[in-house]
Amino acid sequence: MFGGFCYVDRFAGDLAGLRERLPYLRELGLTYLHLMPPFLAPAGNNDGGYAVSSYREVDPRLGTMADLAALAGELRVSGISLVLDFVFNHTSDEHAWARGARAGDPAYADYYLTFPDRTIPDAYERTLREIFPDQRPGSFTYRADMGRWVWTTFDSFQWDLNYANPDVFRSMAGEMLFLANRGVEVLRLDAVVFIWKRLGTACENLPESHLIVRAFNALARIAAPALLFKSEAIVHPDDVREFISPGECQTSYNPRLMALLWDALATRETRLLTASLRDRVRLDPRCAWVNYIRSHDDIGWTFDDGDATRLGADPFAHRRFLNAFYTGRFPGSFARGLPFQENPRTGDARVAGTTASLAGLEAALLTGDAEEIDLAIGRILLIYGVALLFGGIPLLSLGDDLGQRNDYGYHLEPALADDSRWFGRPRMDWDAAARHDDPATIEGRLHAGIRHLAAIRRAHPAFNGTATEIIEVGNDHVFGYTRQGDGGRALILANVTEHPQILDGNLLRLHGLAYHLVDLLTSGPMVATEPRTLAPYQLLCLVAT
């Protein structure tokens, strides 16, 4: 599979507009399309649709549930699976269940976690992490209409559901099956780490969360067996893995590959990337990583502190460096991102921006320096190349294939202004897309590059399955891994710097490749035992001839 994601309105206006854009998605070779939550949501700020007022209704600005179901069918005819969010940790405060709770309807009193005063919220907050400290400090919101404090991990209008109440599970299971029956093939389990709370803990990744997901999964296996789950747990690398198994989430974002590819581009070193992936990439063969370069959210620096310490880095200082680098504050940085949820108290921050802007294309275009532009394109194709050839499901942020830059207008829209993630969520530029077939343009170079990588992945047997092994290549500026599929083996080498890098040829034979090799990207031949120079940001994809 090869995935892509977009906002319906930002990509194509509405669902009818999206149907007209199917040829574009087919041309890219996509087989998986994740639409950001298209459900009914409060007017104004609704966290990009992540405050759902009804799982059974589509936002009328986008179309109807019947349109969505028709789209799912049409996508399937094109070999594309529809992926939607299962926003099951919270609903909006306008959902019928929340309206019931607000009106004092006893049937809904226990659907959410509400408290008469600050006693219990204060007790919980002693060990909770703040998720949106900028615009929404704390994890509870006072509702004057109820005279109660409501648990709101995210924004004040996103009310956490109370899974200790069996009615909540039963109701959400009904919504899940409703969506499966509309033709949704993968549900992305949004904010899965937060669904269970226990006093004295961070209320993240608790064992009960896993039990609940397994229960949803068991129901899916019985009643809607084609439905798969994708875990959205952007937390410590070891906790991410806990959610992945055939009986829980069959796929998961791979936040470590994402964050550490960016780390490698900033530091020009691959040691942290290699060390942290080496022993942790293998999954049950019935499961798969979703390898993305960025999601619609911010980039957080999810690596294990121990891995960083062992390599001689101070994890806190290193995260600070990465934030400074990707917000362009670090001298010489090519990146142009914005901080997201900068927390002055803890020194924490995450980064928002598009791939192209973070990879240097925005800065390079400002100077017009052709060499800098080439380097930026090289970075984008390098990291997407690694993701596409990695094993699992690569995921394209639609618009990255055209090198779309940050949206500097987001703060003029009142509903978006407080949330810098919108910086990295520009509307699809169809004028730029019209140039995607012109090799003389930036759009054409990126688009062709991504399509070429996708075609290689489809065509060569080494890329069947998910068997990936990270290897030591004897050069700290090059990332390497092997892929083993039925009937083929490939070695991928990625130079993460703007300088040529030399590799020892014998290494290739050590990794089980033949004497005579070919690079699938350039069709260039190569003899194993000879030293090999990688050009700046070159990606090599070697197989036996």
By CB under 6 A, residue 232 contacts ligand OTU: yes
How far apart CA 483 and CA 258 sit, in angstroms, is 18
CB of 89 to ligand OTU, least distance (A): 7
Nearer to ligand OTU, 4 or 378 (CB): 4
CB of 234 to ligand OTU, least distance (A): 4
Least separation in angstroms between CB 319 and ligand OTU: 15
Check binding of 193 to ligand OTU (CB under 6 A): yes
Q: How far is the CB of 249 from ligand OTU (least distance, A)?
A: 13
Q: Which helix (H) or strand (E) holds 102?
A: helix 96-102
245 in helix, strand or coil? coil
Question: At closest approach, how far in Å is the CB of 513 from ligand OTU?
Answer: 38
Complex with ligand OTU: residue 102 or 236, whichever CB lies closer? 236
- How many other β-carbons are positioned within 10 Å of the β-carbon of residue 367? 10
Spell out the residues 6+ positions from residue 332 whose beta carbon is closer than 8 angstroms to its own.
none
Q: Which residues contact 217 (CB under 8 A, 6 or more apart)?
A: 229, 247, 248, 249
How far from 251 is each of 238, 240, 288, 394, CA to CA, in Å? 15, 11, 5, 11
Cβ 48 to ligand OTU, closest distance in Å?
6
Smallest gap from Cβ 117 to ligand OTU, in A, equals 26
Cα radius of gyration rounded to whole Å, the chain: 23
Collapsing DSSP to helix, strand or coil, 423 comes out as helix
CA angle 72, 77, 82 (to 5 degrees): 30
Q: Is 537 left (phi over 0), alpha (psi -120 to 50) or beta?
A: left
Single out the segment in contact with ligand OTU by CB under 6 A; choices: 228-236, 311-319, 425-433, 535-543. 228-236
Which of 94, 190, 348, 401 is an active site residue? 190
Quickly tell me which residue has 């892929």 as its tokens: 483
Q: Which residue has the tokens 């919270």?
A: 90
Transcribe 122-140 into DSSP letters. HHHHTTPPPSSTTTS-SSE
User: Between 31 and 295, whose beta carbon lies closer to ligand OTU?
Assistant: 295
Q: Quick check: is 298 catalytic?
A: no
Q: Does residue 463 bind ligand OTU (CB under 6 A)? A: no
Q: Which position among 14, 155, 175, 232 bears the catalytic label?
A: 232
**Span near ligand OTU by CB under 6 A; candidates 4-12, 230-238, 405-413, 428-436:** 230-238
Q: Is 73 helix (H, G, I), strand (E, B) or coil?
A: helix
Q: Does 298 bind ligand OTU (CB under 6 A)?
A: yes
Retrieve residue 439's tokens. 């090799």
Encoded tokens for 506: 């014998």
Q: How far apart are CA 315 and CA 505, in angstroms?
A: 34
User: Min. distance of Cβ 322 from ligand OTU in angstroms?
Assistant: 16
Q: If binding is defined by CB under 6 A, does position 277 make contact with ligand OTU?
A: no
- Residue 1 in contact with ligand OTU, rule: CB under 6 A: no
Distance between terminal CA atoms of the chain? 26
Binds ligand OTU by CB under 6 A, chosen from 67, 125, 134, 297: 297
Of residues 50 and 410, the one with the C-beta less far from ligand OTU: 50
Q: Which of residues 488-527 bind ligand OTU (CB under 6 A)?
A: none
- Residue 348 annotated in active site: no
Phi, psi of 174 (to 5 degrees): -65, -40
Identity (one letter) of the amino acid at 457?
A: R
Query: By the 8 A CB rule, do 160 and 89 touch?
Result: yes
Q: Which x/- pattern over 64-103 shows residues binding ligand OTU (rule: CB under 6 A)?
A: -----------------------x----------------
Contact 97, 108 (CB under 8 A): yes
Question: Restricting to residues 123-162, which ones interact with ligand OTU according to CB under 6 A?
Answer: 131, 154
Among 93, 190, 362, 400, which residue interacts with ligand OTU (rule: CB under 6 A)?
A: 190
Stretch that binds ligand OTU, among 14-22, 187-195, 258-266, 393-401 (CB under 6 A): 187-195
Least distance between ligand OTU and beta carbon 157 (Å): 11
Which residues have a Cβ under 8 Å from the Cβ of 16 and sit 6 or more positions away? 63, 67
Any idea what DSSP says for residue 106? G
229: its two tokens: 């789950």
Who contacts 455 (Cβ-Cβ below 8 Å, separation ≥6)? 29
Least distance from ligand OTU to the Cβ atom of residue 459, Å? 33
Closest-by-Cβ residue to ligand OTU is 50
191 binds ligand OTU, rule: CB under 6 A: yes
Task: Tell me, by CB under 6 A, how many residues bind ligand OTU.
Answer: 15
- Contacting ligand OTU (CB under 6 A), which of 2, 32, 50, 216? 50
Q: Where are the alpha helices (DSSP H) in 191-254?
A: 207-223, 237-242
* Residue choice 235, 313, 388, 503 for contact with ligand OTU (CB under 6 A): 235
- What DSSP assignment string belongs to 348-380? EEEEE--HHHHTTHHHHHHHT-HHHHHHHHHHH
Q: What is the DSSP letter of 389?
A: T
Which is nearer to ligand OTU, 179 or 193 (by Cβ)?
193
Residues that bind ligand OTU (CB under 6 A): 47-48, 50, 87, 131, 154, 190-191, 193, 232-235, 297-298
Residues classed as catalytic = 190, 232
